[in-house]
Amino acid sequence: MDRGDSNVTRIILLVLATSSIALSSSAQTTDPIARALLAAPPSLREAATVIRWKSDHSYDTLKKGTNNLVCYDRSGAPLQRPFAIECTMQGNLPRVAQSMKFEAIGDRARANALIEAAEKDGTRIKPEFGSTFYNQYGPDEAGRMSHTTIAVPGATSATLGLPDTASGGGVWIMNAGTSTAHLMIPGQ
């Protein structure tokens, strides 16, 4: 095989690989474990726990993992998009359950008012400082987008030395000074 044939072979393999990725991303994942794990970083996916939330905001474990990451599907839940999956640290599940209770009323303004009231009266459950929330959401699996945040409850610009607006183009703190404070990562 000469050098030209080798390059053609590489191009054909690249096109085939790209095509298979495009085809696999347009198919809907029906297995509940595989679907929930779509939000997990590849290096953490195999060892992650997968749960299924119940209507009372408790959960069943579908797959017991060996790391601290837990993933779940919230597609179609009140105030969630048609496709909505999330992974976070196991220590954040009480906060997620509390958020789901607030969102269960199905009205964003009322849910936000409940969250603000809990924040003010000190009953808002804090996430683990430095924990990550990996989200994928959209109109369906094929049209999903990714969003990753890092929880820094109570953090402010003064405590972390980061801006509290997106104007600088780098990492910034959203909801600074609250239990909801988190680092926003540009491009996510």
- With bands split at pLDDT 50, 70 and 90, how would you rate the model's confidence at 188? low
Is residue 183 over pLDDT 50? yes
Question: CB–CB of 145/138 below 8 Å?
Answer: yes
Domain membership flag for residue 12: yes
C-alpha–C-alpha distance, residues 136 and 93, integer Å: 17
pLDDT at res. 26? 52
Domain membership flag for residue 122: no
> Could you read off the pLDDT of 80-104 as tens digits, one per residue?
999 999 999 999 999 999 999 999 9
Domain membership flag for residue 19: yes
Burial class (CB in 10 A: 0-12, 13-18, 19+), 160: middle
- Count of domains forming the chain: 1
Domain membership flag for residue 103: no
What sign results for the dihedral spanned by CA atoms 149, 143, 19, 34? positive
Average pLDDT score over the chain: 87
> Could you read off the pLDDT of 109-155 as tens digits, one per residue?
999 999 999 999 999 999 999 999 999 999 999 999 999 999 999 99
pLDDT at res. 44? 97
Residue 7's domain comprises 1-29
Domain membership flag for residue 85: no
Question: What is the length of the chain?
Answer: 188
Domain membership flag for residue 177: no
Domain membership flag for residue 24: yes
pLDDT at res. 47? 98
Domain membership flag for residue 11: yes
**Of 125, 81, 80, which is closest to residue 103 (Cα–Cα)?**
80
